[in-house]
Every structure is written in C-alpha cells, then in structure tokens.
Amino acid sequence: MTAESVTTPSPALGAEYAETASAAYAAALKVIESVEPRIADATRQELADQRDSLKLIASENYASPAVLLTMGTWFSDKYAEGTIGHRFYAACQNVDTVEALAAEHARELFGAPYAYAQPHSGIDANLVAYWAILNTRIEAPGLAELGVKNVNDLSEADWEQLRTKMGNQRLMGMSLDTGGHLTHGFRPNISGKMFHQRSYGTDPETGLLDYAKIAEAAREFKPLILVAGYSAYPRRVNFAKMREIADEVGATFMVDMAHFAGLVAGKVFTGDEDPVPHAHVTTTTTHKSLRGPRGGLVLATEEYSGAVDKGCPMVLGGPLSHVMAAKAVALAEARQPSFREYAQRIADNAKALADGFLSRGARLVTGGTDNHIVLLDVTSFGLTGRQAESALLDAGVVTNRNSIPADPNGAWYTSGIRFGTPALTTRGFGADDFDRVAELVVEVLKNTQPDGTSKAKYTVADGTAERVHAASAELLSANPLYPGLML
Ligand code: DSN
C-alpha cells in the first residue's frame, strides 16, 4: 500500500472524509480478499491505473466516495419490480424511500415535473422513453393481429412490415458521423429496428447544426419523434429551436442529455440551451458529466409520465436499488453550489484544451468547443484515430477514437480523437493544466508515424512515451485522485 499525499483537496473527492473512507475501503478489500483475492487485486490495480493516467474519455468521470460506498450495500439484495408504492414484491418500503428521494432530487435539480430513476443505463433510459412515447402516441396492434408469432424470428423484411403496420414509427436524430448516438435509430441498436430513421447532420463547412435544414428535413420526413442530443458534438444546441421544429411537424421532442447533464445541472446551459423545459421527454445517464453512479434517468412532462412509470417491468428488469440510492446521493451533491463551479470549470477547461490544440496548429471539428468535448481531426498528423488512440495510450493518455463528419477512415479506424474534460476537472485540473495536456498530446502525435501496413499499426519515436509519462505524472500528482485515500 502507498500513501497518497493531500496536496489539493477536492471536496468532490471527499478529502475531508479520507480517513474514514480509507478505513472503509481497506476493510472492504480485506473481506473481498478472503473470498477471491484476484478481484481485490484487480480493484486495487484499477485505482492505481486511474490515478496514474490522464483520463480524457469524454463520457467518464470519478464519483465521490459517498456515491461509490452507497452502491456496496444490501439494497443490492432486494427485488422491487414496479413503481414507488406499487411493487410486485413485498417489503419494499426502504426501496420506496430511496427511489422517491432519487426522483425528488432529479425533479428539483432539473426543474422537471416528473423523474424516473430506475433505468440501468442510458440505452435503457432511451428504450423506456421510446416505448413511453409510442405507448402515448400510437395505438399499436398486437403481434397476433400482424400474423407474427415470435418476435425473435422476425427478418429484416418482417421488421419493415411491422413498422409500417404500426403507423408512423419514424424517428429523426443526429447522424452518427456528426456526433449522434447509436440509440438514436441506428442499426446496431434496437432503435434501428423499431423505427424508420432519418438523420440530420451538420453543415459541411462549419460543422455546426443548421436548424433551417433540420426543419426542412423534418417537414419532409414527418417524424413521430425528433431526438436531440449527441455523444461527440463539441457545441451547444438550441433546444428552443428544436422544439419549434418538433411542434411544427407534430413530433414528440426528446432530448438525450447523457453527455452534458452535468452542464445542465450546473446551470452552464440555461434558457434555450437547457433541454428540460423544452423537451417532452429528457433522458440521461448519471455517470458522465453528472458524476454519479453508472445508470440512467428519464425526465418527462405529465403527459408522458404515466407511460414512463411503466418502464419496469415493461422494458427494464428489476431496479438496482443500491444504484438508485447512489443516484440520490450524487443528485444531492449536484444540488450543492460547488457543483455549479465544477460545471463551469468543465466548460472553461474544454476551451483551454481546444485553444491549446489550435495554438499548436491542430485541426478541431467545428474549430473549437463550447461544451465539455473537443474533437481532434488527426488526419492532419497523417494518422487514423485508431493509431492516434493507441499511441496516446502507450504514453498514459486515455482517450477514445471517434468518427469525424464524412470520415475517410470509417467508423472502426476513424479519423478523430474525442477528448472530454469532466474527469480531470474533478481531479482539480485548471486551464493551465489543460494547455499542458494539449502540448503533451501534440508531442505524442507529432512523434507518431503510420507504419504503412495497416490503419492500426504505427511507430513512435524513441523516448516519446517516457517523456510524456513523466510530464503527466507531475500534473497528476499535483491533482491527486481521491486525495488522502490510503490505498
Ligand atoms: N459510450 C458513451 C460514450 O462514450 O459517449 C455513449 O454511450
């Protein structure tokens, strides 16, 4: 065991409880070790690896010890299918308390009339939302009426027939290569089977959403559901304009704010940029910029609340009550004034990172950022996203490759690297630190060459990874992860 010195205590990471948390984790690991020591070892190793790397994956963060500890309790042992006060199992009074608190914090934090805390993930939250919207808007004929016996046996042609018979089952969302998400109607996800999908993209010149074009496409396609939200678009969205488009074509307006929920909670996105007052249904994960446990959440207007409330068992398995408890703790944290400072720092740091890249001659999709994401086009370094991602990882910089608009290397190798600032901002990184991160990333990429035999292989100039590792170690030790946690 090595001791971590307390240099810059971060309230988010619970430095004031470090001693108690250290004892709690030490005890937990000892108990785990007595049953399966390899899991205890892997758990310790994961902490060490997270402490020693520059975590720049835009969808990751570090939850507080309070959030993490909440997940390790006997709420895990309880079945509680159903809804608050109306369960299919007995003795759910404490689960009711937990779920009601999570929903109350979510409603208060986001100003939503209704919140549903059960979804296990963002995909689940979106499925609950889609089903609720279909349920509210469409009189769906049963499978028997359609002459279909087993939904698992449906061919692609059967799906097509099913969608057509079920009426307007059209969904419009942002295209994958301009930053949309798989669950917004794309083939590898069930939403791509459920819906006739049409994408809207971004302007090829500016890389920005073009609302006039989206309106034009919506008028032509007439979607039942218009979805806004992204996982790799480095800009803000005008949700008021999107709602106007939805209203004009009679669509339900759904926003998937999984990536930027922390910026909404922290009031960085307000007015037209706050999705909640504009959307009929808003979904999110709780573990990205919101900094909670891994899970999902649905917010809705009264009109859709009844159908969303049927999420379990209609779409979801039994609720993870221990995770709902941790959601309540994380949402309570996000209601504290310090969360607003944190959210603003996420955006300021993203800008510093983007400026750091631009000042060193790198090309960014849309030319910059005004949220938590920076999308670097690595073709200017002569690399694919896959090569860049691997070379950065060798130097201890954890990112993920991502498509860029009209990507010449396709969705697997890609031509971009997506960076996000929520995690390192939690550690205490500031604008100067992010400028240094940009410098280190550019140093790695400038010293990386494709090896010419495949889009995955590359060589890096000798000494680069070691130099960058050493420089990162300085930044990381000045901003320790879980300061004071003696593990
Ligand atoms: N996997 C998440 C992300 O990285 O953006 C989205 O599902």
| 229 and 313, same domain (yes or no) | yes
Looking at the structure, do residues 232 and 194 belong to the same domain, yes or no?
yes
For residue range 145-190, what is the model confidence (pLDDT) as tens digits?
A: 666 666 666 778 877 777 777 777 899 999 999 999 999 999 889 9
The verdict on 219 and 270 lying in the same domain is yes
pLDDT digits (tens, 9 = 90+) for 204-234: 999 999 999 999 999 999 999 999 999 999 9
Nearest CA to ligand 1 atom 5: 231
Q: How many domains does the chain have?
A: 2
Do 17 and 37 lie in one domain? The reply is yes
For 316-341, the pLDDT digits (tens) are 999 999 999 999 999 999 999 999 99
Domain presence at residue 70: no
Residue 319 lies in a domain: yes
Residue 131 has pLDDT above 90, yes or no: yes
Which residue in 464, 475, 446 sits closest to 395, CA to CA? 464
**Are both 328 and 353 inside the same structural domain?**
no
Does residue 63 lie in a domain region?
A: no
Range of the domain at 23: 1-51+346-487
Question: Which of 306, 334, 362 finishes a domain?
Answer: 334
- Cα 308 to Cα 263: distance, rounded to the nearest angstrom: 24
Residue 259 CB-density burial (10 A; 0-12 exposed, 13-18 middle, 19+ buried): buried
Q: Which atom of ligand 1 is nearest to the CA of 183?
A: 7
- Concerning whether 288 is annotated as a catalytic residue, the answer is yes
- Residue 232 placed within a domain: yes
Is residue 121 in some structural domain? yes
Q: Which of 374, 349, 399, 292 is nearest to 54 (CA)?
A: 399
Domain boundary at 334, 362, 382, which?
Answer: 334
Length of the chain: 487
pTM, 2 dp: 0.93
Q: What average pLDDT does the structure give for the chain?
A: 93
Q: CA–CA separation, 358 vs 352, rounded Å?
A: 10
Shortest-distance Cα residue to atom 1 of ligand 1: 59
Domain of 102, CATH number, reads 3.40.640.10
- Asked if residue 286 belongs to a domain, the reply is yes
Integer angstrom CA distances of residue 14 from 29, 62, 184, 346: 19, 11, 36, 19
CB of 16 closer than 8 Å to CB of 9: yes
Count CB-CB contacts under 10 A for residue 220: 9
| Best residue for ligand 1 mutational test, from 56, 59, 233 (most atoms within 8 Å of Cβ) | 59
Q: Is 79 a catalytic residue?
A: yes
Q: Residue 4 above 80 pLDDT?
A: no
Whether residue 269 sits in one domain with residue 413: no
Same domain, 372 and 232: no
Catalytic residue among 294, 310, 446, 455: 294
Pocket of ligand 1 (CB under 6 A): 59, 122, 231
Q: In this predicted structure, what is the pLDDT of residue 152?
A: 63
Q: Are residues 26 and 137 in the same domain?
A: no
d(CA 90, CA 78): 10
Amino acid at 15: A
Domain match, 318 and 212 both: yes
Using omega within 30 degrees of 0 as the cis cutoff, is the peptide bond preceding 65 cis? no
Beta-bridge partners for 283: 256, 298
Beta bridge partners of 417: 376, 401
Per the residue annotation, which of 87, 170, 288, 386 is the catalytic one?
Answer: 288
16 is in an annotated binding site: no
Residue 421 to residue 334: CA distance in whole angstroms: 17
Distance from C-alpha of 229 to C-alpha of 178, rounded to nearest angstrom: 11
Q: Are residues 351 and 310 in the same domain?
A: no
- 341, part of any domain: no
CATH number, domain with residue 432: 3.90.1150.10
